[in-house]
Amino acid sequence: MHVPLSYYLILSAILFGLGVLGFLLKRNIIAIFMSLELMLNAVNLSFVAFSYAWQQISGQIFVFFVIVVAAAEAAVGLAIIIMIFRNRASLNIERINLMKL
């Protein structure tokens, strides 16, 4: 007895949905960023599943690129978050609503 491929895709969809939910519900800017990472992970799962379905290695190559981009994004994004915290002393996204201090 093995697992059908569609289960993996459904899991990916559920995780992506939870990521979107977190992105909309969370108020802490770092938590929002983490929800973003969750969405990327969900997409990676479906890439690997499709890579298996078509017996093609390129799906896994895409995951590789997604991970690289996520690393770059995390570095820059967290630097921006540190800047925001330095200027506003808050991580609440609703307090960051002015262009000018």
Partner 1 sequence: MSAEHWLFFFFAGVAVLGALNLILQRHPIHSALSLILVMASLAVLYLLLGAEFIAAIQIIVYAGAIMVLFVFVIMVLNAGEEERTSLSRVAKFVGLPLAAVFLVEVCYVLYRAWPSEQMVVPERFLGRTEAIGKALYGEFLLPFELTAILILIALVGAVVLAQKEP
Residue 88 touching partner 1 (CB under 8 A): no
> Is-contact 1 28, C-beta < 8 A?
no
First vs last C-alpha separation in the chain = 61
Q: Going by C-beta distance under 8 Å and a sequence separation of 6 or more, which residues neighbour residue 50?
A: 59
In the complex, minimum distance from the CB of residue 88 to partner 1, in angstroms, rounded to a whole number:
11
Residue 8 touching partner 1 (CB under 8 A): yes
Residue 28 touching partner 1 (CB under 8 A): yes
Alpha helices in 26-57 (DSSP H): 29-54
Residue 52 touching partner 1 (CB under 8 A): yes
| Tokens (6 digits) for 94 | 């609703």
As a whole number of angstroms, the distance between CA 95 and CA 25 comes to: 15
Residue 38 touching partner 1 (CB under 8 A): yes
In the complex, minimum distance from the CB of residue 51 to partner 1, in angstroms, rounded to a whole number:
7
Residues binding partner 1 (CB under 8 A): 1-11, 13-15, 17-22, 24-28, 30-31, 33-35, 37-38, 41, 44-45, 48-49, 51-53, 55, 57-58, 60-61, 63-65, 67-76, 78-83, 85, 91-92, 94
